[in-house]
Structure formats: structure tokens, C-alpha cells
Structure 1
Amino acid sequence: MILPAFAALPLLLSYAGSTTILVPRPIRRLLGDDSDLLELGWIYYLYMFLMVIFCSNSINIHAGINGLEAGQSAVIAAAIVLLNVTTIVATGTYEEADPSIRSLSMPEAIQRANMLMKTLGSKSSVALKAVKQAERLIAQNDAGMQMHEAHIFSLCLSAPFLAVTLALMAHNWYPSKVFVGDTFTYFAGMSLGVAGILGHFSETLVLFFLPQIVNFLYSSPQLFKIVHCPRHRLPKLDTETGLLHPSKATETHYNMNLVNLFLRILGPQTERTLCMALLTLQAVCCMAGFGVRIVLSGKWK
């Protein structure tokens, strides 16, 4: 817990971005507030701090078999790269207006507002409405430009990370010739967390990290010493069959992590097959993250 906390400090000290978030539409309706934005200030920094610590440790504790650490990192990184590329393409010529003036471009909306102000006067409700619409369009366009730049920055982090992780997987895949250990898992979690935070899609990043979240929650009784937790919670290898079996923390309790849970559900597996099953779950969760974004687009924010 301590090492990632210190490693997160440069991110917090160098962060010069906004600490303002877009309030979800359902919450706006509940609050009855017309404001779309909420300034979080130091709370946003605390959120970034905790997010980076979680990402670093979540990769580290969802591990233990050949290819899993590098594999899950590569799948998440590929999802982040795809998200960045699609968003950069979509926001390359960003210009989205209020539904009532959607047919107007930003210069046209500004020109329309200026003409109405000159013709009808500054007290005209029609002119004031046009000015408000133009201002909203300018704000939306600025937000689109900021999103575009944030995703370019995130892509500059995630694309090289994906490339080197795929190269690492060639040596870490079963039968592994390279042991990644904490050196890679902390670096991987930190890189993915920073790419999501500075890319301003931390909510989607949470969806990409669903297996890690489930693994953390399921492991919590052992991690917080409510249930006995041995130093290593690796599955047991049957040397005669070459199959992995779930390991036990005590005579009556199995070790509580996704690796052992999958073995309890699917039965004994080879290490390669078990890794493929866990990475399939990772890929499905990443695809579900894209699905949730599409479904909630325009409805959540």
C-alpha cells in the first residue's frame, strides 16, 4: 500500500488539469439544479490518489499463473487504446449544439446571437436566448477539444505500454521464461490508472477493471485478516496429471481469489486453460464497458 502511494505523488504534484466533473443527468434531475458541472477541488486529488493505489494493487493480487499478469494488463491496455482512438476520431471535428440549434455551427450560432442583439436589443428574450445557446455551444465545443487532447495524451501512454506488454507476454506465456513479479504489476497498474485518469474516462476504467474489483472484494476477508491468509494463495499442481486444483488456506476454507474460484467452478484445469478462461472474462468485461458507454451515451452525462 505504501509504495504505490509514494509513486502517486508525482502525478498529484504535476497534475494541472481540471478538477471539475460533469454531473450525471439523473443526479441533475434529482437535485433540480441547472448546473452541469461540479467543482471537486481537493476531493478530485484524493480520488486520483486512491484510484492509482487500487489499480496498482489490483493487478498485483489478481496473479499467480503464467501469463495472467501480463495478459490482463494487455487486454485492459488494448481496450484503453481502442477507446482513445475511437474518441479521438469522434472528437476530431467536435461540434455539438443544443438540440434547438443543432443545425447551426458554432460561428453561425455566434453570428446569429450578435445579429439578434443588434436588431432586437439586449433586453429581448429572443436575443438573450440566442446568446445563451451560443455560449452553451462554445462551452460544449471547448469541452470536446479538451476531451480530444486528453485522449491523445492517454494514447501516448497506453499505446507504448500495450506494445511492450505484448512483447513481454511472448516470454511470460505458459510455459513462462520470464517471471514478472511486483516490478511489472505495480508498473502496469500505475500506467493503466494514470492513462485513465489523465484521459478523463475513469468511470469507464472502472468497468475495464471489473475482474480486479471482484477479485479484491472476494479476497477482502483474507486481505484484511478476517480469514487466515497464507503468504501465497497459488493453486495446487497435481504433478501426475499436470492439472491445477484450488488451494486451501485452512482445512475448511479455500483461498479466496478468482484463480481458485475459477478452479472450484470449472474443475481442475491446466495452467494455460485456466489463464485463457480468466483473460476471456477480462475481455468480456472490457467489451461490456464499451457497451455500457454506448447505452448510457447522452443519458448518463
Structure 2
Amino acid sequence: MSSVTIAISGLIAVCTYFVTVRMIPRFKDMFIKAGLFGKDLCKRDNPQVPESLGVLIGCTFLVAMFLFIPIPYTFEESALFDIKTGAKPATFPHEKFAEMIAALLSICCMILLGFADDVLDLRWRHKLLLPTMATLPLLMVYYVNFNITTVIMPKFVRSLLGYSLDIGVFYYIYMGMLAVFCTNAINILAGINGLEVGQSIVIGASILFYNVIELAFGHQVDCHKFSIYLMLPFLAVSLALWKYNKYPSQVFVGDTYCYFAGMTFAVVGILGHFSKTLLLFFIPQILNFLYSVPQLFHFVPCPRHRLPKYDVRTELLHISTTEFHLKDLNPLGLLMVRILKNLKLISWQEQVDGRVITNNFTLINFVLVLFGPVHESVVTQFLLGFQVICTLCALIIRYPLASYFYEA
């Protein structure tokens, strides 16, 4: 019966795609009238573009999932009702039902908090706290249904730590941090047309491909079916949004979509029991975070916006810059910029007055450091291509390489 539920999920996803494609242009003017719009700074005439469309996408996703909720508990053999008495079977999967409700609750909370961020422009400390709060229902369900906190050790440390190690509460801390990372990692690798949605589509497709592989192997069937149920409608609404957000963008997604996408990935990673594999699909986001650490934690001055600069004459993007005096940096900040400079990972211009001018520390600017000024669409294509390559590397790490470290 599982193939039936997946097929129905796919059918709902297809319908959701077409509904979303029709909805977005009809709501564009409503967002502008409500003052939810921004200027596209990387275009010649800086057009007004409706912003925060992520709230519409997230709500459409939730409606699709609400319609799907009865399906697994109608068609799965373990969930069939007694036709004569109408009584629930003794084997009704209450745990699975609780997982689905908790997952949608966490995603719904994150959509609400993301929209609040778009409207109220919350501070960074709130952006770290809010995903943690939204993850609590998820962690409670995980605790009640599974409470598995054991980690399998690689072969080369088993002589010291044994085959497995129970890390207890630290596993829950890790899962909470995973949700915070997923929701913010997409948000900080953003700012040019199509990048937020594009990378989310690649990550979502990677997760779906991984789920299919695991189902083919017969590994944790219920967990990967659960992931597929969420990924299909997620990809449907994201592909519909991509149609209007790709270059040249007709709509902006806002922080709402980034939080919605990140929490959806965190949900399937945690409840699907592949949180470590999930991180492999976030290699570009991890690299971007590590590259951004000096500015994110203010070891180096960080401007409010780190978008590339747009050249009106050539219509190309140039690196955006920050400047500072080396004497103003603390020892750790000085060490960071010296390492990046020696590895030629940043541009470096020393001025006669002692100031240093470097590019802002994002992967978008790093592409421009490597290749010089290029068109906005080319930067997006390069980063999405890099995301695809990283997915292939992740699958190689997960399958051929992992066998050398974990198989008995």
C-alpha cells in the first residue's frame, strides 16, 4: 500500500504546483499594496518587487499537507478501519500520526516566525532563538517515540570507545542546533535572483533521491516514506516559486521562505533518522557559513547588507567590500583575515592611511573574487551547479566511502 500513498502524495504535489503557479501572480499586487516590497538593487532601474512571497508558498504547502494527512491512515494496512464496526484497529499508528502533526506544527511555527522577521526585521539573536523554540515539538515527539541517542563509532576508534556511544542529551542539543543551522544557512547564502529557491530545490531533490535509494535497499522504510510525503509538496511549491523568482525576479521570497525551507529539511532529517546525511547535502551552506564566520561574529566589520555591487553601465556584479584597520581587530580576527589572505580566499587592498579593503565574506563575493565581474544570472548558475556537484560528492561519501569506516 505504500506505493499508493506515495502516488497520491505525488498527485497532490502536481495539483499544488499548478495552483501555486496561478496564485503567485494574483497575489503580487496585494503584497505591494500592503507595503511588502523591495527594490531589486541589481537591476538598472531598481524596480519594485513584491517581497515575502514565502508566506504564501508556506501556507500552500501546509494546505497540501493537511489534505494529505488522512491518506496514510486510510490506505496503509496497519491503519485500516473495521468497516462493520467503524472501530479503530489495535495497530493504529499513533506514533506516526504524532510525528506528522508535530512536523507540520514546527514548520507552521517557522513560517509564522519567518513572516514576523520579514515584517518586523528581527535581530540576529532572535533568528537563533526562534528556530530552537519551533523545534521543541519535534524533539518532544522524537523523545517519546524513539529517544535513540546512540551514535555508531567509526572502525578506527572502536577499540577505544566501543561499537557505539550513547551521548544522551547532547544528541538533542545537536538536533536543535541542526534546525538553527538549516533555517539560517539558506538565509545567509542569499540576495541574488533565484538563489534561495534554487539551492532549496537542489537540496530537496537530493533528499528525495536519497529517500528513493534507501527505499530500494529496504532501509528504514517508514522513515523515508515520511520524508517523501513532505518533500514532494515542498518541491512542488518551490518549483512554482522558482518560475517567478529566477532571473529576472518578479517576486522576492523573503526570510519566510528561507526559514520554511530550512525547517522542512530539519524535520525530515530528524524524524527520518538521517540528520548526519542531511548535513552532507548542505556542504555549500557549511562552506559559506565557515567563510562568513569572521563577519557573522563581528571579528571583522560586517555591513548590514553584503550583496555584490551592481555596475549600471556594464550590468555586471562586482564584489562588495568592507574596510578596517588591522590595529582595530582583536587577535583572533587578525588571525582569521591573515589566514584567508595567505590562502588567497579574499581580495586585499592596503591603503596609505593603514586601512585594509577586502570583499565581504560570502560565497557570492568569493565567486566574484575568483572570476571577476560577471552577470547576476551567471553567479546563480555557478552556485547552483556547485550545489549539484556537492550533492554527488555527498552521495559518494554516504555510500562508497562510508563503508570503509563503518562496515564490520
1:274 to 376, 379, 383: 379
* Structure-1 residue corresponding to 2:205: 78
* Aligned twin of 1:30: 159
Deviation at 1:24, TM superposition (A): 2.8
Tell me the CA shift for residue 182 of structure 1. 0.5
Q: How far did residue 202 of structure 1 move?
A: 1.7
Counterpart of 1:66 in structure 2: which amino acid? N
Per-residue CA distance 1:164-211 (angstroms, 9 max, x = gap): 111110111000011011010011111112211222122221111011
CA distance in structure 2 between the aligned counterparts of 1:31 and 1:148, rounded to whole angstroms: 33
Which of 210, 222, 225 does residue 149 from structure 1 map onto? 222
1:134-145 equivalent positions in 2, closer than 5 A: 144=219
Indicate the structure whose relative CO is greater, using CA pairs within 8 Å and at least 6 residues apart: 1
In the alignment, what sits opposite 1:131?
Answer: none
In structure 1, distance between residues paired with 2:193 and 2:278: 24
The CA deviation at 1:32 is 6.6
Q: Please state whether the residue corresponding to 1:200 is helix, strand or coil.
A: coil
Q: Any gaps of 5 or more consecutive residues in structure 2?
A: 1-127, 324-355
Task: Give the secondary-structure state (helix, strand or coil) at the position aligned to 1:253.
Answer: strand
Q: Does 1:200 align with 2:305?
A: no
Equivalent positions of 1:252-263 (< 5 A) are: 252-263=357-368
Tell me: CA distance 1:25–1:2, structure 2 relative to 1, closer, same or farther (3 Å). closer
Partner SS for 1:249: strand
Alignment RMSD: 1.6
Q: How does 1:53-132 map to 2 (within 5 A)?
A: 53-91=180-218
Gaps of 5+ in 1: 92-143
Residues 62 and 271 of structure 1: CA distance in aligned 2, closer, same or farther (over 3 Å)? same
Cα displacement string for residues 25-65 of structure 1 (whole angstroms, at most 9, x for unaligned residues): 425533273xx443333222111100000111101001010
| C-alpha contact (below 8 Å) 1:20/1:37 kept by paired residues | no
SS across alignment from 2:138: helix
Instruction: Determine the structure 1 residue equivalent to 2:401.
Output: 296
Which string of whole-angstrom CA distances, capped at 9 and with x for unpartnered residues, describes residues 66-100 of structure 1?
Answer: 00000000000000000001111210xxxxxxxxx
1:154 partner amino acid: S
Identity %: 49
Distance 2:262 2:367 in 1: 23
Equivalent in 198, 205, 216 of residue 289 of structure 2: 216
Contact 1:73–1:188, Cα closer than 8 Å, also in 2: yes
1:244 match: secondary structure: strand
Moved beyond 6 Å, runs of 4+: none
User: In the aligned structure 2, how far is the partner of 1:243 from the partner of 1:205?
Assistant: 34
Aligned to 1:265: 370
Write the distance in 2 (CA, Å) between the matches of 1:160 and 1:265: 37
- How far apart, in 1, do the equivalents of 2:271 and 2:191 lie? 30
Distance across 2 between alignment mates of 1:176 and 1:275: 12
Instruction: Give 3-state SS (helix, strand or coil) of 1:237's partner.
Output: strand
Q: Distance in 2 between matches of 1:175 and 1:272?
A: 8
Query: What is the CA deviation profile of residues 227-282 of structure 1, one whole-angstrom value per residue up to 9, with x for unaligned ones?
Result: 11111000000011110000002261211100001011011111111100000111
Inter-partner Cα distance in structure 2 for 1:277 and 1:28: 39
Mapped to 2, the partners of 1:236 and 1:244 lie a distance apart of 6
Secondary structure of 1:299's partner? helix
Report 1:168-179 matches (<5 A). Answer: 168-179=241-252
**Distance in 2 between the 1:30 and 1:77 partners?**
38
Code of the aligned partner of 2:366: L
Secondary structure in 2 matching 1:286 = helix
Shift of 1:296: 2.6
Shift of 1:21: 3.2
Q: Is the 8 Å Cα contact of residues 150 and 168 (structure 2) preserved in structure 1?
A: no
Q: CA deviation at 1:218?
A: 0.6
Q: Which residue of 2 aligns with 1:181?
A: 254
Amino acid at match of 1:263: L
C-alpha separation in 2, matches of 1:19 and 1:209: 24
Task: Report whether the alignment pairs 1:233 with 2:306.
Answer: yes
* Match 2:317 to one of 224, 244, 251: 244
1:10, distance to aligned residue in structure 2 (A): 1.7
Aligned residues: 245
Instruction: Supply the distance in 1 between the matched residues of 2:232 and 2:297 (Cα, whole angstroms).
Output: 35
Match of 1:11 in 2: 138
Do the aligned partners of residues 37 and 153 (structure 1) sit closer, same or farther apart at CA in structure 2, a change above 3 Å counting?
A: farther
Q: Which amino acid aligns with 2:361?
A: M
- What's the counterpart of residue 117 of structure 1? none
Secondary structure at 1:79's aligned position in 2?
helix
Distance 1:228 1:22, change over 3 A: closer
